[in-house]
Structure 1
Amino acid sequence: MVFLSIANWVRSRGPDEIWRKRRVFKLAAHYIGRRRNCYSVAVRNVHRALVYATKARQLKKQDMIDLWNTRITAACEQHNITYYTLKEGLDRSNIMLDRKSLSDLAAWEPRTFECLAAVAKQKIDYDGFIDGTDRKQPTGVNLNLKDVMLEAWLKENKK
């Protein structure tokens, strides 16, 4: 489209407005009634929905972190070690696992998590570290690294 004067160019809102409205109507397609057909109503509802979607993404991340922490804490209590002691022992042993990996191991591979907890506890005992963050003692079973070693497990399976 060719414009001979700047005034005509400024007054022309055609194609850009059509595509802008079309984008909003596509986002409002699943709404009912005027919320989907009337632009002034649809644009308010679409903007509100996009704000909720943005907040929901952050809340989903936080919910997953809370779930991972709960799983790890529960598994740590089974093995008589605190979460802080587990993380500190694994860090000192150069075992760099994040929350998601630890929670997956705690939920789906408890023997592997038991070995990691034993390694962390052994490293903490060697270093003489005292966990002062949690005064309440866990009520699980005491771990010993020799009890969960791979060689002992292999000997049991060969028999």
Structure 2
Amino acid sequence: MPRVTRGFKARRRRNKVLKLAKGFRGGRSRLYKTATEAVDRALVYGYRDRRTKKRDFRRLWIARISAGAKMNEINYSQLMGGLKKANIDLDRKVLSNLAILDAGAFTKVVQMAKAANA
């Protein structure tokens, strides 16, 4: 009696995993068992790192804003406090882009924050 290969449903499930493993190297893209392990791990890393990415970008923006603030003789916390007092609602991403791409506009924003602090 021949072995049971479980038909098209099992093949469809396996092909779904192998499709997710496309681009992986070696047996991880061709062999179902190793592909399953690789895909499971990749999905876990993806889930984790989508959250980590948010933290990393926030840290990067804060570092850039802080560097721009120091060039304007104010520290980061005083700048952010001054912006809050002046009711200037610019998020950190926008502020960091200003600090890099448009130093003149960033200086004006810093002046407003300094005025609100004083």
- TM-score normalised by length of structure 1: 0.66
CA 1:75–1:40: 2 relative to 1, 3 Å: same
1:58 is matched with 51
Larger Rg over CA atoms: 1
Residue 55 of structure 2 is aligned to residue 101 of structure 1? no
* Deviation string, structure 1 residues 45-81 (Cα, Å, up to 9, x no partner): 1111111222222222222111101110001111111
Question: SS at 1:21's partner residue?
Answer: helix
My pick for the range that moved more, 65-74 or 84-93, is: 84-93
Instruction: Give the aligned residue type for 1:98.
Output: D
Q: Could you tell me how far apart the structure 2 residues matched to 1:100 and 1:48 are? A: 31
Q: How is 1:5-154 mapped onto 2 (pairs within 5 angstroms)?
A: 14-125=7-118
| Structure with a larger share of its residues in helix | 2
Question: SS at 1:63's partner residue?
Answer: helix
Runs of 4+ in 1 over 4 A off after TM superposition: none
Shift of 1:108: 0.5
Q: Could you tell me how far apart the structure 1 residues matched to 2:33 and 2:50 are? A: 26
- TM-score normalised by length of structure 2: 0.86
Question: What is the count of residue pairs matched by the alignment?
Answer: 115
Give the root-mean-square deviation of aligned CA atoms. Answer: 1.9
My pick for the range that moved more, 47-56 or 97-106, is: 47-56
* Deviation string, structure 1 residues 115-138 (Cα, Å, up to 9, x no partner): 11111111110xxxxxxxxxxxxx
Identity, % of aligned pairs?
Answer: 39
Question: SS at 2:25's partner residue?
Answer: coil
Question: SS at 2:23's partner residue?
Answer: coil
